[in-house]
Amino acid sequence: SYVLTQPPSVSVAPGQTARITCGGNNIGSKSVHWYQQKPGQAPVLVVYDDSDRPSGIPERFSGSNSGNTATLTISRVEAGDEADYYCQVWDSSSDHLFVFGTGTKVTVL
C-alpha cells in the first residue's frame, strides 16, 4: 500500500513562510492534491495537480512536486492559515486507491 508521510506539526510566525512536506515513493510521478481542514469543518482543496490553485484560494498557497517529496508552501502566513493540512494522491496499485497523507498541524505563533 502506498504511504504518504507528513511531519506532524509545523510552527511559523505571522508573515513568514510555512513549508509542509509530503513524502512518498516516487511521488514526483503522481499528481498531488492538498487540503486544508480547520477544526470542526470539512476539508477544503487548496492546491491540485501539484501546483494549481482552485478559484478563491490565495496566491500565497503554492505547491511543488519532485522526486520523493511534494511540498505545500504558504507564504506570508496569516493567523487564519492555522489548520491541518493533508496531501493526497491516486495510486492504482494501492488498496486505498485514493491515499491521504498523515496530516500536518500548522500552528501560527
Partner 1 sequence: EVQLVESGGGLVQPGGSLRLSCAASGFTFSSYDMHWVRQATGKGLEWVSAIGTAGDTYYPGSVKGRFTISRENAKNSLYLQMNSLRAGDTAVYYCARERSPTTGKFLPDAFDIWGQGTMVTVSS
Q: Which residues bind partner 1 (CB under 8 A)?
A: 31, 33, 35, 37, 41-45, 48-49, 54, 86, 88, 90, 95-103
Dihedral, CA of residue 16, residue 59, residue 88 and residue 67, to nearest 10? -70
C-beta of 13 vs 40, nearer to partner 1: 40
Check if the beta carbon of residue 43 is closer than 8 Å to that of residue 95. no
Check if the beta carbon of residue 109 is closer than 8 Å to that of residue 12. yes
Instruction: Provide, rounded to whole angstroms, the least separation between the CB of residue 86 and partner 1.
Output: 6
Instruction: Provide, rounded to whole angstroms, the least separation between the CB of residue 14 and partner 1.
Output: 26
Q: Which of 104, 60, 108, 63 is nearest to 86 (CA)?
A: 104
C-beta of 21 vs 48, nearer to partner 1: 48
C-beta of 48 vs 75, nearer to partner 1: 48
- Cell numbers standing for residue 21: 512536506
Q: What are phi and psi of 15, to 5 degrees?
A: 90, -15
Instruction: Provide, rounded to whole angstroms, the least separation between the CB of residue 51 and partner 1.
Output: 12
C-beta of 40 vs 80, nearer to partner 1: 40
